[in-house]
C-alpha cells in the first residue's frame, strides 16, 4: 500500500503479558517514528530511527519498552510486562529523511489501540 501500515489495529492483552506492535513504513522512507497517544491527549514522542539505528529513544517511558528496525524498513515496538497504564494508541510515522527545511513531512499510520486489562 501507499501509506504507513500498522498491525494489529487493536490489541487487548492481560496485565503482565508481552506485546509486539508492527509498523510498515512507506517504501523508501529512511526515518521512522513511534508516538503514543493517550485518551484526550496529543501524541507523545517515543523513539526515532534513522535507517536501522535508534537515533533517539529518549521518549521511551521505561525499560519495559523497546523498539527495533533490523533491516531499516519494518519496525517493531515491544512492550514487556504490560501495565494498565500502557493502554493507549501507538502511532507510527515515517518520512523520507528527518525533518528539515525542505519539508520532510511525517506520514502517520492509523495506529494500534492497545488495551491492557
- Interacting residue ranges for another protein, rule: CB under 8 A: 3-4, 31, 33, 35, 40-45, 48, 56, 59, 91, 93, 95, 98-101, 103, 105-111
Q: How far is the CB of 18 from another protein (least distance, A)?
A: 26
- Cβ count near 23 (within 10 Å): 27
Ramachandran angles phi, psi of 85, nearest 5°? -70, -10
Residue with smaller CB distance to another protein, 77 or 111: 111
Residue with smaller CB distance to another protein, 17 or 106: 106
Q: Is 86 helix (H, G, I), strand (E, B) or coil?
A: helix
Q: How far is the CB of 110 from another protein (least distance, A)?
A: 5
Q: How far is the CB of 7 from another protein (least distance, A)?
A: 14
Q: How far is the CB of 1 from another protein (least distance, A)?
A: 12
Residue with smaller CB distance to another protein, 14 or 101: 101
Please report how many Cα atoms fall inside a 13 Å half-sphere around the Cα of residue 91, on the Cβ side. 17
Report whether 87 contacts 14 (CB < 8 A).
Answer: no
Q: Is 41 helix (H, G, I), strand (E, B) or coil?
A: coil
Q: Is 85 helix (H, G, I), strand (E, B) or coil?
A: helix
Residue with smaller CB distance to another protein, 70 or 101: 101
Amino acid at each position: 500500500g501507499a501509506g504507513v501500515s500498522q498491525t494489529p489495529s487493536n490489541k487487548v492483552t492481560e496485565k503482565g503479558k508481552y506485546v509486539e506492535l508492527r509498523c510498515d513504513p512507506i517504501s523508501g522512507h529512511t526515518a521512522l517514528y513511534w508516538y503514543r497517544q493517550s485518551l484526550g491527549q496529543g501524541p507523545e514522542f517515543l523513539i526515532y530511527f534513522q535507517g536501522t539505528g535508534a537515533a533517539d529513544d529518549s521518549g521511551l517511558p521505561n525499560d519495559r519498552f523497546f523498539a527495533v528496525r533490523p533491516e531499516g524498513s519494518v519496525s517493531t515496538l515491544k512492550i514487556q510486562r504490560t501495565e494498565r497504564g500502557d493502554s493507549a494508541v501507538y502511532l507510527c510515522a515515517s518520512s523520507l529523511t528527518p525533518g528539515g527545511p525542505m519539508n520532510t513531512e511525517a506520514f502517520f499510520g492509523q495506529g494500534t489501540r492497545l488495551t491492557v486489562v
